[in-house]
Copies of this chain bind each other. A is one copy, B any other.
Amino acid sequence: MAYELFYWPNIQGRGEYVRLALEDAGEAYVDVAREKGGMKRMTALLDDAKLAQPPFAPPFLRAGRRLIAQTANILLFLGERHGLAPRDEAGRCFTHQLQLTIADLVVEIHDSHHPIASGLYYEDQESEAKRRAEDLRRNRLPKFLGYFERVLASNPRKGGWLTGARATYADLSLFQIVTGLRYAFPTASKRLARKHPRVIELHDRVAARPRIAAYLASPRRIAFNQEGIFRHYPELDG
């Protein structure tokens, strides 16, 4: 039976990390909320008081009788099942650790345009966003990207992946970070790219994977826009 992914229909958002893993694994899935009546189904599950193990928020994944939420948790599940994580326990643990670090970065990127409240418009927190985005560009992005550059440099297997000899879901997620930052912060991204060549090479290596390349060229890939995690406000790009 195909997986069912429940996520907001109009943005890449956190659902995209799951989509990339499913696409790279070649697994069939239904992007439920993009189908007719799908939003209703998603909302009904979020509100279902009878669920013993309810999700807090999208994305969540239906896998047979299981309903699994939290992006990194879904990837932990899929990675082991579909060869997108190392086979040994220590390798799987480190891959998950990398994914949780990426998850922390995703929050910081989101909050750079919404530092006060997700429920308020950008225009109602623009001056605060300018201050926060400056800190993101100057301090936080160099710290995170420098970390991933270091991890790539210290992987004893020389395939150019974050851990082990093969691509994991963490590599797919880091690709998404790079491509998202290029959309949201084109100027800052150019400057950052010079100091993090291995991260950029990883991005290119993921983009060239046949299933990922096919996905990116398909209508299944939602375009970046001003509703997602990565938004392009020129005034936040320095």
Write the residues of chain A forming the contact surface with B, with a CB cutoff of 8 angstroms.
Answer: 49-56, 66, 68-70, 72-73, 76-77, 90, 93-94, 96-97, 100-101, 103-104, 107, 111, 115-117, 119-120, 125, 128, 131-132, 135, 139, 144, 147, 150-151, 154-156, 163
Inter-subunit contact A73/B56 (CB<8 Å): no
Nearest B residue to A55, CB-CB: B97
**Known pairs A70-B96, A76-B96, A119-B135. 18 more at Cβ < 8 A?**
A53-B90, A53-B94, A54-B147, A56-B101, A68-B93, A68-B97, A70-B100, A72-B100, A73-B93, A73-B97, A73-B100, A100-B103, A116-B131, A117-B131, A117-B132, A119-B139, A125-B131, A128-B131
Enumerate chain B residues within 8 angstroms of A156, measured Cβ to Cβ: 52
The count of identical subunits is 2
Cα–Cα distance between A154 and B50 once the two chains are bound (Å): 7
* 14 A–B contacts from the bound complex (CB under 8 Å): A49-B150, A52-B156, A66-B90, A68-B93, A68-B97, A72-B100, A73-B96, A115-B132, A117-B131, A117-B132, A117-B139, A119-B139, A120-B135, A128-B128
